[in-house]
Amino acid sequence: MARLGRVLLLLTTCLGLLGTAGCGDDYDGLVIGVVLPMTGPQATYGEESWNGLQLAEADLRQAGTNIKFKLVLKDEKSTPQEAQTQAKTLMELEGAHVLLGSVASSNTKTIAGAAKENGTPCITPASTNDNLTTGNPWLSRICYKDSVQGGVLATFALSNGWKRAAVCVDNESDYSRGFADNFKGAFEAAGGTTHFEYFKAGNADYSNVIQGVADANPDVIFISGYYEDGGPMIKQAKARWEGKPVIGGDGLDSAEFLTLIGDAQNPIYFSTHFAPDAPDEPAVKAFAERYRERFGKEPGAMAALGYDVLFVLMDAAKRCANPKSAAELNTAIGATKNVKGITGLISLDNPDRTPNKPLVIVKVEGGAKKFHSTIKP
Ligand code: PHE
């Protein structure tokens, strides 16, 4: 009875503190703040990344790490404003020593801005926009960038004999705009021509962009954007895009995409970071099996990137005398060399702290995603 009393007392003290400064204030380990879209249109990205992070955490704990750490997750609700608010909350109220996040480049941009202002290291698992790491030494990433992805996609299209591309762009998204420009630069330099059409994210009716693309009569349609727009666009385009090939990037890589396109018959290819069915990749296969077992779902790119980002961070932390020192941890992250990830070998010891990794091309066929090829840029 006395014991129960003590537990209750502890619990109420804790809850009382929670209302003011937070119960974890005396935590003496490394606080890893995680900002992800757990709700809103990009929620499937958030869910997958968090699953990957949890799997990595379990593996690290099982292997036994000398570094005491905890993950604190905040939902950025798929908006740049909320991403910034949550990043600040983590740094100012939760004592985060480092931030991980987010997925959409526009959202990572606001997180990285806050991290820079505060002098806190930040690693994005998935944001590919080139400009993010320019002029911000506090941000690193473990994915390739869009000038690379755009170049690979341009070469892929031309090698299929597709010389005239219609490009669908959302001008308000850093990812969409940057990626489209990167593609255009590479595609035109190699002899292709492009025609740009603009759409608005979350616009339930894509008939303008669909008609504009149809009128341009291209060889290939490049959707520079996310699955929540690309999916419905392809579905609505149906007859008007006459079974023409559609290409895209990692933004199309979501399980939801397959549902959203309905029964569209266009050949669809997209570049991404990981395919669970990649042949001759035992580490990928093992990861996919464990992910299915634990979460009952097929892992996408975000799952693998979420897994890798925690390993990169802990590899850097291990090289620090004091991982809680922002400057020391940031320098260690920037010195990352050959960390073996599920998505490839990760080295960040270059001016924009971005790895040079292979891309995976996936083909959508018969309502399923199928590994097509691996391209080393
Ligand atoms: N690369 C995208 C961006 O920068 C995010 C993304 C990564 C989406 C991986 C899907 C898979 O906005």
Q: Nearest C-alpha to atom 4 of ligand 1 is from which residue?
A: 127
Q: How confident is the model at residue 19 (pLDDT cuts 50, 70, 90)?
A: very low
Res. 24: pLDDT tops 80: no
- Report the nearest atom of ligand 1 relative to the CA of 273: 9
153 C-alpha to ligand 1 centroid (Å): 15
Q: Are 369 and 272 in contact (CB under 8 A)?
A: no
**Averaged pLDDT for residues 246-262:** 95
Within the chain, where are the H helices? 2-20, 43-63, 80-92, 105-118, 146-159, 174-189, 207-216, 227-237, 255-260, 282-295, 301-318, 326-334
pLDDT at 373 over 70: yes
Q: How far apart are CA 294 and CA 116, in angstroms?
A: 36
Hey, which of 35, 109, 127, 224 would you mutate to test ligand 1's pocket, going by the most ligand atoms within 8 Å of its Cβ? 127
Greater model confidence, 261 or 366: 261
The residue-averaged pLDDT of 191-215 equals 96
Ligand 1 centroid from CA 93, angstroms: 28
Which tens digit of pLDDT belongs to each residue from 81-104? 999 999 999 999 999 999 999 999
To test the pocket of ligand 1, the residue of 250, 274, 307 to mutate (highest count of ligand atoms within 8 Å of its CB) is 250
**CATH 3.40.50.2300 location in the chain:** 30-144+284-357, 146-272
Which CATH code fits 30-144+284-357? Answer: 3.40.50.2300
CATH 3.40.50.1100 fits 146-272, yes or no: no
pLDDT for 17: 44
Nearest to 213 by CA among 172, 244, 185, 249: 244
Q: Whose CA is nearest to atom 11 of ligand 1?
A: 250
145-173 confidence digits (pLDDT tens): 999 999 999 999 999 999 999 999 999 99
